Amino acid sequence: MGAQDLSIFSLGILFVFLLPILYISRHLKFGINKPIIFSMGRMCLQLGFVGLYLEFLFKLDSPWLNGVYLMMMISIACYSILKSSRLKIVLFFKPLFLALLIPFAIILLFFNGVVVHIDNLFEAKYLIPIGGMLLGNSLRSIIIGLTNFYSGLQKNEKEYLYSLSLFNNRIQALKPWFRESIVAAITPTLASMATIGLVSLPGMMTGQILGGSIPIVAIKYQIAIMVCIFYTEYFSVILSILFSLKMGFNDLDVLNTNIFAKTNLHNQGKKF
Amino acid sequence: MISFESVSLDIDNSQIFSDLNLCVGKNEKLLIQGRSGIGKTTLFRLILGFDQPRSGQIKVNGQPLDKAHINQIRQQIFYLSQDIDLKDEVIIRLVTEILEFNSPRKAPLEKMNRFLTLLELPSGILQKKTRDISGGERQRLGLLIGFLLDRPIWLLDEPTSALDDAMKEKISSHILSLDKTIVIISHDPVWKNNSIIKIKRWS
């Protein structure tokens, strides 16, 4: 039993509600019509492409191909994290890739092998959607974590250097920023875990129920996936900060100033 | 103990020093004077490895400031920055953390009361947070950490700017009596009232 298929036409009908939205935004000069159309268009294209691609992957179900696809997902995640965190991609890509890969691979394989007991650990049906959920959620936390860490340090550089002079140890001097960024990074997930089920039914569960699972099975999967998301986030945030330190600091433990990508913010600064 | 050999430094394309030569001997007391903004603080930042010179070399105890020696060098230097940039934390916890980290075997906390009295700090201050005390108290807290750490080289950036006259007198004469290599940046005339200090004027 599965969910009823949607015809392209009936899916398209959903977009009628876009008309009043575009009208209102235009009438009130919100200036967001372009981004709305762009984002909607991108979502449709990307998901359409993934749909076709997944059909192909699921049919073939080759462990190697699935593995390569996951690596590609991690690479895109790294790129997007560094772009949002204003950090130079050339410098941080490799450490971040490892920071994502290690916890992600361990938790994902543990979930597939020990929790779900599937024979082929690399089975596309489990590997790719679950991998996507873990990665997608870690993405937001790592952006919060890295941004907090480096911008906090940049803002309070004097305080860091003073601690460095007193402790004479980089890790000890960095502790307050470590703590602050990790807490900031995992707080949203903690909050959503604490309210889940009361406010919203998570997407995965909804999908499973529509897909024909009985609610209790869907709930079990949901609990398992939330826990895995939290673990992956926690470790990948810590590792991404730890692994980035080598690039972030010079030989004398001072924050490198050339790690930040140039953005418009930088230009705005010149006006003052 | 500290030597600068033809050191040049630029920050944001403007020259701070060029071809600076300076030597501070063991247990010497040096007072650096000069108008604001000419790079006095930067001199301390260079010794601590916070800034790196464009050319020339800085050595502390004959060791160059590089990856291999930086920890050894920082371990010998107590730095009192102008704003005493301590992290926000309950003072006793912060002081204990610093001391335990520096000498894990025996933290010299028993000396605490002696220095609190010398600095005229009430012991109740230890329960407050670093952001909740006044500028003068903060300056004395910085010095308290310096006394407890007891490192051989002291770099003091305006150490008496927030203190009253009597306190300035008392603390400066105590500091100058220590068997330590001390470099002081200060506009305060109180440091000049003695014969041991060498004065270097910068223009």
pLDDT digit string, tens, across residues B104-141: 666 567 788 889 999 999 989 999 999 999 999 999 99
Which among A151, A148, A154, A230 has a CA at the least distance from the CA of A182? Answer: A148
- State the DSSP code for A3: P
Q: In degrees rounded to 5, what are phi and psi of residue B82? A: -60, -40
A2-6, A77-81, B80-84: the lowest-pLDDT one = A2-6
| Run of H or E including B44 | helix B40-47
Kindly report the pTM of this predicted structure.
0.85
Residue with tokens 């402790």: A167
The pLDDT value recorded for residue A209 is 83
Q: Which of A165, A170, A175, A258 best tests the B interface by mutation, with the highest count of B CBs <10 A?
A: A165
Segments in A61-167 forming alpha helices (H): 63-84, 89-110, 124-155, 157-167
Whether residues B66 and A165 touch (CB distance < 8 A) is answered with no
Whether residues B67 and A252 touch (CB distance < 8 A) is answered with yes
Which whole number is the average pLDDT over B142-159?
A: 94
Q: Please answer whether residues A118 and A112 qualify as being in contact, where contact means their C-beta atoms are separated by less than 8 angstroms.
A: yes
The pLDDT value recorded for residue B199 is 83
pLDDT-based confidence at A120, cuts 50/70/90? confident
What is the pLDDT of chain B when averaged over all its residues?
A: 89
Q: In degrees rounded to 5, what are phi and psi of residue B3? A: -135, 140
Q: Which residues of B touch A250 (CB under 8 A)?
A: 52
Whether residues A167 and B84 touch (CB distance < 8 A) is answered with no
pLDDT tops 90 at residue A254: yes
Measured CA to CA, the distance from residue A170 to residue A190 in angstroms comes to 29
Q: In degrees rounded to 5, what are phi and psi of residue B57? A: -135, 145
Across the A:B interface, residue pairs with CB atoms under 8 Å apart total 55
The pLDDT value recorded for residue B59 is 93
Q: Which of B85, B102, B138, B154 best tests the A interface by mutation, with the highest count of A CBs <10 A?
A: B85
Q: Which of B12, B13, B50 best tests the A interface by mutation, with the highest count of A CBs <10 A?
A: B50
Q: Please answer whether residues B63 and B69 qualify as being in contact, where contact means their C-beta atoms are separated by less than 8 angstroms.
A: yes
The pLDDT value recorded for residue A61 is 86
- The fraction of chain A above a pLDDT of 90, given in percent, is 58
Distance from CA of A139 to the nearest CA of B (A): 30
The strand pair at B14-24 and B181-185 is best described as unpaired
Whether residues A166 and B66 touch (CB distance < 8 A) is answered with no
Q: What sign for the dihedral angle of Cα B30, B33, B39, B40? A: positive
pLDDT tops 70 at residue A152: yes
pLDDT digit string, tens, across residues B3-35: 888 888 887 777 888 888 889 999 999 999 888
Whether residues A254 and B145 touch (CB distance < 8 A) is answered with no
Q: B53-88 burial string, b = 16+ CB within 10 Å, else e?
A: beebebbbeeeebeeebbeebbebbbbbbbebbbbe
pLDDT-based confidence at A124, cuts 50/70/90? confident
Q: Which of A166, A249, A257 best tests the B interface by mutation, with the highest count of B CBs <10 A?
A: A166
What is the pLDDT of chain A when averaged over all its residues?
A: 89
Q: What share of chain B is helix, strand, coil (3-state, %, to 5)?
A: 35, 25, 35
Which pair of structure tokens corresponds to residue A131?
Answer: 């991998």
Q: Hey, is the C-beta of B49 within 8 angstroms of any chain A C-beta?
A: yes
The pLDDT value recorded for residue A2 is 62
pLDDT tops 60 at residue A264: no
Measured CA to CA, the distance from residue B17 to residue B10 in angstroms comes to 7
Whether residues B48 and A172 touch (CB distance < 8 A) is answered with no
Which pair of structure tokens corresponds to residue A5?
Answer: 């298929």
ipTM of the complex: 0.92
Which whole number is the average pLDDT over A16-44?
A: 93
Measured CA to CA, the distance from residue A98 to residue B87 in angstroms comes to 32
Q: Please answer whether residues A128 and A66 qualify as being in contact, where contact means their C-beta atoms are separated by less than 8 angstroms.
A: yes
- CB neighbour list of residue A191: distance below 8 Å, 6 or more residues apart: none
Chain A residues near any Cβ of chain B (below 8 Å)? 158-159, 161-169, 172, 176, 250-254
Whether residues A254 and B50 touch (CB distance < 8 A) is answered with yes
Measured CA to CA, the distance from residue B181 to residue B159 in angstroms comes to 15
Q: Which residues of A touch B87 (CB under 8 A)?
A: 159, 163, 176
Q: How many helices (H) and strands (E) does chain B have?
A: 6, 9
Whether residues B85 and A165 touch (CB distance < 8 A) is answered with no
Q: What is the dihedral of CA A160, A166, A167, A171, to 10 degrees?
A: 10
Residue B23, strand partner residues: B3
